[in-house]
Structure 1
């Protein structure tokens, strides 16, 4: 039987590219998304290339849709080999301008969504005594950045959550955990984040405006002048995810580009893939 994979957030970007790439490499793919009306592009690719991809409704903020999707997979295959927690949303506003509802939303989508999906598959993977959970985080999960404090905080939370699980679940139940940490991605995700900052964030005036203008100018300059590639395509990130999934000894964490590696170097130089620290934690606590 083929290995199967459940991928969240597959309507666009990294999720869509991952679903197609995994299917082309022999996986049975369950491609999930909050709104299946946005699955047109993926459906066209499935039809054109006869891909083994099955589209499911799954909203990471709604546990009922998560459980229904997982029940569908178990009824079909009796197992889940791999979960890729990819669904997320860009967000950039100052703390002062962010509403209570927005704080809850960005945390719900980018952090608690990962927790819900992970919690739902863990009993299955524990009982079958194998599995791999790959969480798509960000360099923002290692390095705090201007106007991204809430997004970075959510990704920091995913990093801590995953690192903690790896310290005791992996050895006991043969469940692997990995975090894939992209830098900038040239997809709708980035456009959405910028829109939320400059338009929804109402940064057309006020004392934060000069700082925001310098921030945006710097982003554009780095993208156009840097000798290292800042913005990757969704496919380039998907290729790293597939590499991690196919590895016999996958890293706990991995950056997806040379730029991302350099950007996080002060945080990661002592333990680039995260395994050294996890082993020290195991020695200290278990």
Structure 2
């Protein structure tokens, strides 16, 4: 396969960042971090610009309600962070719920990235290239009961981002990084966490989704294994600014790293288990 992110990336001292979903969580923490760095320039977006009031009113910060921009300037870093979780019994999901989830998680990410690429690859003022951080999740690596459309959106982000990363020419210096956090301590508002209406056939305490809910709720309440949004923000800043190659995939948190490794090892065992069926007629 074509190699990706082949050259070390050097973040310009006055880099321009575009971040979606800055009203809370990772987006808010990263925007706050960048606001503390006087030479960095930030385009912060949110559904409601009033939620960006925590950012200072300075010439280096632009607050927007929509994820749109022109091509008269350069973008150095794009962080596709906007999204919300959709949980519940898949059989009960409406078409509107499913389509809105995919529109936000996948098509929003794809749309912003596609608009950013021609801006990044065009040399403006002596700078060319950049980094696109597409925020996926542990949910883009492993599937769990009760979150089918959330997983669908994140899996789509993973495959789409990898394909695009292999399309861009190495000379463009455009780097794609799929960020895969596990649990993050975020204060979800009403739109950032949605729930499908319960299905009567899935209410039993022995149903896999109900059992997972109990485990997740314990983890959320205790905070064990949950990362601070500020830690994620610091990591993204480090990856962009350290002057090294940008990884294609970036699992964040010990939980994600361990489960990703277990998923890969399990996949290898599954492959071995179906080898005779899969390679029929090829002599092994």
TM-score (normalised: structure 2): 0.78
Where in structure 2 are the equivalents of 1:115-126 lying within 5 Å? 115-126=110-121
1:9–1:254: structure 2 CA closer, same or farther, 3 Å change rule?
Answer: same
Q: Choose which of 6, 9, 29 in structure 2 pairs with 1:17.
A: 29
Q: What is the CA–CA distance in structure 1 between the aligned matches of 2:122 and 2:60, rounded to whole Å?
A: 26
Where in structure 2 are the equivalents of 1:64-213 lying within 5 Å? 66=67, 69-71=68-70, 75=72, 78-128=73-123, 129-189=128-188, 196-197=194-195, 200-202=196-198, 205-210=200-205, 211=207, 212-213=209-210
Which of structures 1 and 2 has the bigger CA Rg? 2
What displacement does 1:213 show?
3.2
Q: More displaced, 89-98 or 242-251?
A: 242-251
- Does 2:47 correspond to 1:34? yes
Q: What is the CA–CA distance in structure 1 between the aligned matches of 2:18 and 2:112, rounded to whole Å?
A: 10
1:190–1:257: structure 2 CA closer, same or farther, 3 Å change rule?
Answer: farther
Q: Cα deviation per residue 1:226-261 (whole Å; 9 max; x = unaligned)?
A: 9xx421121121112112222321111111211221
Corresponding residue for residue 62 of structure 1: none
Q: What is the CA–CA distance in structure 1 between the aligned matches of 2:202 and 2:263, rounded to whole Å?
A: 31
Whether contact under 8 Å (2:21, 2:83) holds in the other structure is: yes
Corresponding residue for residue 56 of structure 1: 64
State the SS of the aligned residue for 1:96. Answer: helix
- In structure 1, the gaps of 5 or more residues are 59-65, 271-286
Whether contact under 8 Å (1:143, 1:264) holds in the other structure is: yes
Whether contact under 8 Å (1:80, 1:125) holds in the other structure is: yes
Whether contact under 8 Å (2:88, 2:198) holds in the other structure is: no
State the SS of the aligned residue for 1:11. Answer: coil
- Bigger relative CO (Cα 8 Å, ≥ 6 apart): 2
Q: What is the CA–CA distance in structure 2 between the aligned matches of 1:186 and 1:109, rounded to whole Å?
A: 21
- Does 2:214 correspond to 1:217? yes
Corresponding residue for residue 253 of structure 1: 249
Matched positions, count? 246
What displacement does 1:180 show?
1.1
Whether contact under 8 Å (1:170, 1:177) holds in the other structure is: no
Q: What is the CA–CA distance in structure 2 between the aligned matches of 1:233 and 1:169, rounded to whole Å?
A: 33
Corresponding residue for residue 260 of structure 2: 264
Q: What is the CA–CA distance in structure 2 between the aligned matches of 1:192 and 1:123, rounded to whole Å?
A: 31
- In structure 2, the gaps of 5 or more residues are 1-12, 267-284
What displacement does 1:225 show?
7.4
What displacement does 1:28 show?
0.7
Q: What is the CA–CA distance in structure 2 between the aligned matches of 1:243 and 1:269, rounded to whole Å?
A: 29
Corresponding residue for residue 276 of structure 1: none
Q: What is the CA–CA distance in structure 2 between the aligned matches of 1:253 and 1:246, rounded to whole Å?
A: 17
Q: What is the CA–CA distance in structure 1 between the aligned matches of 2:30 and 2:252, rounded to whole Å?
A: 14
Whether contact under 8 Å (2:129, 2:173) holds in the other structure is: yes
Q: Cα deviation per residue 1:161-191 (whole Å; 9 max; x = unaligned)?
A: 1111111315142100101111112212398
Q: Cα deviation per residue 1:178-237 (whole Å; 9 max; x = unaligned)?
A: 0111111221239866x633xx5236x5434422432222123445779xx421121121
